[in-house]
């Protein structure tokens, strides 16, 4: 995956996660503060993705100058949390 496609892919996933959280927030308001288990799980997944993306960006773990696949950029011996 080249660097430009990688950046677009990660950006699209970020937009999907933020959009999903917005929809869940609207459903929460409409339901009077009651979420289904599915909404709670999806909300946790989206927040987790956004948090990890932020950590990766802060620590420069996702270099867009590198054309290697993302999985090859991850140091499996290093944790980011």
80 belongs to a structural domain: no
pLDDT at 22: 96
Over residues 29-48, the pLDDT tens digits come to 988 888 899 999 999 999 99
Domain range holding 64? 3-73
29 belongs to a structural domain: yes
Domain count, the chain: 1
| Residue-wise DSSP of 2-70 | -HHHHHHHHHHHHHHHHHHHHHHHHHHHHTTS---HHHHHHHHHHHHHHHHHHHHHHTT-S-TT--S-H
Report the predicted TM-score, pTM, of the whole model to 2 decimal places: 0.74
55 belongs to a structural domain: yes
Question: Which has more pLDDT, 28 or 68?
Answer: 28
For the chain, give the mean pLDDT: 83
Pair of tokens at residue 34: 């009651």
């Amino acid at each position: 995956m080249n660097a430009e496609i990688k950046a677009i892919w990660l950006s699209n996933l970020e937009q999907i996660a933020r959009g999903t959280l917005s929809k869940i927030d609207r459903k929460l308001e409409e339901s009077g503060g009651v979420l289904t288990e599915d909404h709670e799980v999806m909300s946790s997944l989206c927040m987790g993705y956004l948090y990890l993306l932020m950590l990766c960006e802060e620590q420069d773990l996702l270099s867009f100058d590198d054309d290697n696949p993302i999985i090859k950029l991850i140091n499996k011996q290093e944790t980011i949390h």
